[in-house]
């Protein structure tokens, strides 16, 4: 049972690691980062809607619906857009690593809004995250553009991805997550629509967009969800931390992106901080990217 769960989570990590790769390929075909994010939200939302319909999952209503709509604008529109902008500005490997600042943002949010105590574990993780981002900023690398823009978009992606933890604390146990995504992703697509300039698309562009929606969004979430049914959340998070490793290896092979030694150390600190926080008993684990 555990071996099966490990396989599902490992598959999810590999699929999430492909997100920046497919995004970079799609952008190379003339699509803007925000158009890539738009189609990811729209096509991925259609997959979740069909799944929720087949499962006959109840949709959120009333106040829960309103909060889900707001989550769609922040956790989908801003998150999906900023991640693709980070890929364009700095590279797929850098964007993937900076995404793992999300648990640090969760710890700070819990302290600010829920009066949760910042213990030694949380403070150590925050220091590791800050030190890791500083080393990445100073280290750079070959084929990796470390700039205020790439760091800003990458950290924005990490911040808005942290909303999945916060939103999930309440709603992922109350509703079928696929039903929630069936609402949030189309709303996120609508939020992106005013900022998208649609480009002519060759078949290869549609292939990459479809891969992002089907593999990196719907299939990756489903695989991680299957894994969580068979593994403890902490163990699942440790396995899922392979995502930036997969992204970095592929970015090296396909785009000649290579983080310098100090930047690699910084990346290790950021991922280590995420793992440290994932072991905290109060930690919530998101079920999507």
Show the 3-state SS of the chain. CHHHHHHHHHHHHHHHHCHHHHHHHHHHCCCCHHHHHHHHHHHHHHHHHHHHHHHCCCCCCHHHHHHHHHHHHHHHHHHHHHHHHHHHHHCHHHHHHHHCCHHHHHHHHHHHHCCCCCCHHHHHHHHHHHHHHHHHHHHCEECCCCCHHHHHHHHHHHHHHHHHHHHHHHHCCCCCHHHHHHHHHHHHHHHHHHHCCCCCCCHHHHHHHHHHHHHHHHHHHHHHHHHHCCCCHHHHHHHHCCHHHHHHHHHHHHHCCEECHHHHHHHHHHHHHHHHHHCCCCCCCCCCC
Interacting residues of 175 by C-beta distance below 8 A, sequence separation 6+: 57, 58, 59, 60, 64
8 A C-beta contact, residue 45 and residue 182: yes
| Secondary structure in 3-state letters for 113-162 | HCCCCCCHHHHHHHHHHHHHHHHHHHHCEECCCCCHHHHHHHHHHHHHHH
Domain boundaries, the chain: 2-196+223-278
Give ∠ CA 99-20-72 in degrees, rounded to 5. Answer: 60
Taking only the tens of pLDDT, the chain with its 289 residues reads: 667 888 998 999 999 999 999 999 999 999 999 999 999 999 999 999 999 999 999 999 999 999 999 999 999 999 999 999 999 999 999 999 999 999 999 888 888 877 778 888 899 999 999 999 999 998 889 999 999 999 999 999 999 999 988 898 889 889 999 999 999 999 999 999 999 999 999 999 999 999 999 999 999 989 988 888 888 776 777 788 889 999 999 999 999 999 999 999 999 999 999 998 876 654 455 666 6
Q: How many CB atoms lie within 10 A of CB 215?
A: 17
CA–CA gap between residue 267 and residue 12 (Å, rounded): 20
CA–CA gap between residue 279 and residue 121 (Å, rounded): 9
β-sheet bridge partners, residue 258: 142
The bridge status of strand 141-142 relative to strand 258-259 is antiparallel
Length of the chain: 289
Q: Which residue has the tokens 């990458």?
A: 154
Q: Which residue has the tokens 């992204």?
A: 247
8 A C-beta contact, residue 216 and residue 96: no
Structure tokens, 41:
């939200």
């Amino acid at each position: 049972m555990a071996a099966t769960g490990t396989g599902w989570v490992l598959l999810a990590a590999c699929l999430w690691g492909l997100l920046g790769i497919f995004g970079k390929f799609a952008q190379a075909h003339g699509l803007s980062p925000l158009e890539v994010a738009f189609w990811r939200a729209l096509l991925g939302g259609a997959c979740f809607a069909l799944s929720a319909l087949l499962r006959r999952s109840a949709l959120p209503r009333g106040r829960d619906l309103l909060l889900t709509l707001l989550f769609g604008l922040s956790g989908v529109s801003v998150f999906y857009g900023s991640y693709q902008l980070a890929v364009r500005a700095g590279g797929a490997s850098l964007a993937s690593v900076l995404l793992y600042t999300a648990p640090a943002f969760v710890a700070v949010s819990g302290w600010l809004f829920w009066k949760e105590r910042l213990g030694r574990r949380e403070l150590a993780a925050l220091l590791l995250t800050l030190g890791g981002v500083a080393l990445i900023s100073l280290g750079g690398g070959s084929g990796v553009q470390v700039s205020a823009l790439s760091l800003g978009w990458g950290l924005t992606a990490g911040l808005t991805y942290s909303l999945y933890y916060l939103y999930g604390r309440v709603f992922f146990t109350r509703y079928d997550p696929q039903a929630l995504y069936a609402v949030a992703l189309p709303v996120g697509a609508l939020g992106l629509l005013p900022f998208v300039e649609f480009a002519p698309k060759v078949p290869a562009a549609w292939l990459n967009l479809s891969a992002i929606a089907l593999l990196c969004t719907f299939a990756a979430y489903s695989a991680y969800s299957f894994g969580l049914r068979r593994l403890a959340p902490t163990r699942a998070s440790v396995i899922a931390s392979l995502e930036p490793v997969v992204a970095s290896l592929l970015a090296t092979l396909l785009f000649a992106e290579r983080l310098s030694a100090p930047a690699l150390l910084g990346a290790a600190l950021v991922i280590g901080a995420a793992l440290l926080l994932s072991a905290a008993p109060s930690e919530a684990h998101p079920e999507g990217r």
